Amino acid sequence: MEKTLVIIKPGAIQRGLIGEVIHRFERKGIQLCGIKMLQLTDEILTEHYAHLAQRSFFKRIKDSMMITPVIVCCLKGFDAVNIVHEMAGKTNGREAAFGTIRGDFSMSIQENIIHTSDTVENAEVELARFFSETEIFEFDQYNLNFLYANDEI
């Protein structure tokens, strides 16, 4: 099974959406196997958003991500990276489909509730950035037979 990273951003923290966001993934059948609150630093954000370093909004994004602590989650499931990324919706909340997290809770391209890994490779790098091996837990999810067909498990 794949693992992926979700960061619940400061705007969602301020708006009291932590439980709602996690609830949606759990209802889908995605397993939460690591979670913690942390205050992001300029250093870690510079690394995390390095692909945006030359963009005019780079500093604004970093500043926004340090307003409050964030919640980082490790989620697990079959095709978890794609499913979680699709559940998030388009980056711009005004363009995100209703029923997605951003489509239901965001009006902004920047203040868009969550970050999700977009590829399996990026998920591995991002999870290692925010979690040690001892902070991600492996345990049986007893409802798998009700989430997947026998030949999918």
Does residue 110 lie within any of the structural domains?
yes
- What is this structure's pTM? 0.95
- Phi-psi category of 79—alpha, beta or left, where left has phi over 0 and alpha has psi -120 to 50? left
Q: Over 90: is that where the pLDDT of 21 sits?
A: yes
Closest by alpha carbon to 80, among 129, 48, 134, 116? 116
Where are any strands of DSSP class E within the chain? 2-8, 31-38, 70-77, 114-116
Kindly indicate the confidence band of residue 84, based on its pLDDT and cuts at 50, 70 and 90.
very high
Does residue 107 lie within any of the structural domains?
yes
Q: Which domain holds residue 10?
A: 2-137
Does residue 58 lie within any of the structural domains?
yes
Does residue 121 lie within any of the structural domains?
yes
Is 115 labeled as catalytic in the residue annotation?
yes
User: What tens digit of pLDDT does each residue of 24-43 get?
Assistant: 999 999 999 999 999 999 99
User: What tens digit of pLDDT does each residue of 120-145 get?
Assistant: 999 999 999 999 999 999 999 999 99
Task: Report the DSSP pairing between strands 2-8 and 70-77.
Answer: antiparallel
Give me the number of domains the chain comprises. Answer: 1
Burial of 32 (0-12, 13-18, 19+ CB in 10 A): middle
Active-site residue, from 23, 48, 51, 115: 115
Does residue 146 lie within any of the structural domains?
no
What CATH number has the domain bearing residue 21? 3.30.70.141
Three-state DSSP class for residue 86: helix
**Mean of the per-residue pLDDT values for the chain?**
97
User: What tens digit of pLDDT does each residue of 87-97 get?
Assistant: 999 999 999 99
Does residue 148 lie within any of the structural domains?
no
Contact 129, 44 (CB under 8 A): yes
Does residue 17 lie within any of the structural domains?
yes
Dihedral sign of CA atoms 112, 128, 51, 30 in order: negative
Kindly indicate the confidence band of residue 60, based on its pLDDT and cuts at 50, 70 and 90.
very high
Does residue 86 lie within any of the structural domains?
yes
86-92 LR contacts (CB < 8 Å, sep 24+): 87/24, 87/25, 87/28, 87/116, 88/113, 88/114, 88/116
Q: Which amino acid is at 126?
A: E
Kindly indicate the confidence band of residue 153, based on its pLDDT and cuts at 50, 70 and 90.
confident
